[in-house]
């Protein structure tokens, strides 16, 4: 596997001249069709997706061949554990979040408008944990144990309270509706909630409700927001990413990483993960942390999470067999490991009783593999 030994951070000037009028008219439906055609033409060899994860599959011979060590810094592969498919049947799975008290994993099936739950103690999956779910995408838990969800259908961020009611945390900014919030993370020191708003849920009825704007343009410039943990005030903290998607903090909360999937709509966008310095409620020094290009192919990072050593575990997809799955980046942005899956991976989450189990939502499935590290944060 070819690797780049030298990694350089690249500063990006704020794209103040990139307004909504420069939006590529290709909508998400056209993008999905294009991505499928490209994958079929360039990467789908006859042996692609040959691995069978079904109930009648033969046991895998250890060590797991699809957990790939690209660099000696990737010391997290266990020699006697397999990748497991825990569930199959979603239309588009997203937003895994681990609940340590209940010992369950929550995740979303956006088109089916439901949230599902994997129970650790006996391994069964309960459907319609929440239905309807507002076509929810990203989920997380705050440090009081309350679930936070980003709803595509209702274009808002909500919190589920102890009595079962919902509190709307954000549904507009600067007098205009949000596009369709995507993913959220919480800081323990001040209770603030940081979320992205790329707007995919407002582009079509399949994942939400098509915005009646007369075009595919979003209501707001795509951006990253912060909800104050005390006052509830909403502030825009960055808008350099063309379409900010998944996000996570470094273990010490001094860095914020944001996946950019803007190439789905903007010709000048690159498939990268951004890195920011965090200073209280402000973000500084927008930089390219990692590129999703590998061996001449480039797909999307979506959901991302940090481990205890500061490595970033990123979902990867829309290229094909041998690329799709999870890519692991060292703190300096170099790719050091890979987990190959037989379908697009949308999101990742550390969970399990020891937080040493990586859960991965594929397009139609939920996968998991034990690793020799733990997640940096509670979910």
CATH classification of the domain holding 77: 2.120.10.30
Mean pLDDT over the full length of the chain: 89
43 — pLDDT class (breaks 50, 70, 90): very low
**How far does Cα 152 stand from its chain's mean position?**
15
Range of the domain at 201: 20-370
195 lies in a domain? yes
218 — pLDDT class (breaks 50, 70, 90): confident
Structural domain tally of the chain?
Answer: 1
25 lies in a domain? yes
SS (H, E, C) 221-233: CCEEEEECCCCCC
162 lies in a domain? yes
**Model confidence pLDDT, tens digit, residues 262-314:** 999 999 999 999 999 999 999 999 999 999 999 999 999 999 999 999 999 99
Query: How many helices and strands (H and E) does the chain possess?
Result: 1, 29
46 lies in a domain? yes
Choice among 51-60, 173-182, 304-313 with the minimum mean pLDDT: 51-60
pLDDT computed for residue 51 by the predictor: 82
216 — pLDDT class (breaks 50, 70, 90): low
- Residue 16 pLDDT greater than 70, yes or no: no
Per-residue pLDDT, averaged over 68-77, amounts to 98
pLDDT computed for residue 52 by the predictor: 86
- Residue 108 pLDDT greater than 70, yes or no: yes
Neighbouring-strand partners of residue 314: 304, 327
Per-residue pLDDT, averaged over 226-234, amounts to 98
- Residue 121 pLDDT greater than 50, yes or no: yes
72 lies in a domain? yes
CA dihedral 86, 246, 90, 54 (to 10 degrees): -30
Contact (CB, 8 A) for 308 and 354:
no
pLDDT computed for residue 278 by the predictor: 98
pLDDT computed for residue 12 by the predictor: 43
211 — pLDDT class (breaks 50, 70, 90): confident
| 33 or 217, higher pLDDT | 217
Task: Return d(Cα 303, Cα 315) in angstroms, integer.
Answer: 6
8 lies in a domain? no
Tell me, what DSSP letter sits at residue 155? T
Cα Rg, the chain, nearest whole Å: 19
pLDDT computed for residue 50 by the predictor: 61
11 — pLDDT class (breaks 50, 70, 90): very low
9 lies in a domain? no
Measured CA to CA in angstroms, residue 313 lies from 185, 286, 308 at distances of 15, 20, 11
Task: Return d(Cα 246, Cα 197) in angstroms, integer.
Answer: 10
37 lies in a domain? yes
Rounded to a whole number of angstroms, the distance between the first and last alpha carbons of the chain is: 31
Task: Return d(Cα 95, Cα 183) in angstroms, integer.
Answer: 7
Instruction: Take residue 1 and report the two structure tokens written for it.
Output: 């596997």
């Amino acid at each position: 596997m070819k690797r780049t030994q030298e990694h350089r951070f690249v500063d990006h000037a704020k794209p103040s001249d990139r307004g909504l009028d420069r939006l590529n008219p290709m909508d998400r439906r056209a993008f999905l069709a294009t991505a499928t055609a490209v994958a079929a033409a360039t990467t789908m060899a006859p042996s692609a997706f040959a691995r069978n994860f079904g109930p009648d599959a033969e046991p895998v011979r250890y060590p797991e061949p699809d957990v790939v060590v690209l660099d000696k810094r990737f010391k997290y592969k266990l020699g006697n554990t397999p990748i497991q498919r825990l569930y199959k049947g979603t239309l588009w799975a997203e937003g895994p979040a681990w609940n340590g008290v209940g010992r369950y994993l929550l995740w979303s099936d956006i088109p089916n408008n439901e949230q599902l739950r994997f129970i650790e103690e006996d391994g069964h999956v309960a459907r319609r944990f929440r239905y309807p779910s507002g076509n929810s995408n990203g989920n997380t838990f705050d440090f009081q144990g309350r679930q936070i969800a980003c709803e595509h259908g209702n274009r808002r961020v909500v919190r589920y309270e102890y009595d079962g009611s919902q509190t709307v945390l954000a549904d507009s900014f600067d007098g205009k509706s949000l596009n369709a919030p995507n993913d959220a993370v919480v800081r323990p020191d001040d209770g603030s909630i940081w979320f992205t708003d790329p707007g995919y849920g407002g582009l079509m009825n399949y994942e939400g409700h098509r915005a009646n704007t007369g075009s595919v343009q979003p209501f707001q410039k795509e951006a990253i927001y912060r909800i104050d943990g005390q006052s509830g005030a909403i502030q825009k903290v960055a808008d350099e990413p063309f379409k900010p998607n998944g996000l996570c903090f470094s273990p010490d909360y001094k860095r914020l990483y944001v996946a950019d999937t803007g190439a789905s709509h903007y010709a000048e966008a690159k498939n990268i993960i951004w890195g920011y310095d965090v200073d209280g409620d402000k973000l500084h020094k927008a930089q390219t942390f990692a590129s999703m290009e590998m061996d001449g192919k480039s797909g999307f990072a979506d959901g991302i999470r940090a481990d205890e050593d500061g490595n970033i575990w990123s979902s990867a997809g829309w290229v094909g067999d041998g690329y799709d799955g999870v890519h692991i980046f060292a703190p300096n942005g170099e790719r050091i490991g890979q987990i190959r899956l037989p379908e697009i991976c949308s999101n990742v989450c550390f969970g399990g009783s020891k937080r040493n189990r990586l859960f991965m939502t594929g397009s139609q499935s939920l996968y998991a593999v034990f690793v020799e590290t733990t997640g940096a944060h509670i979910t």
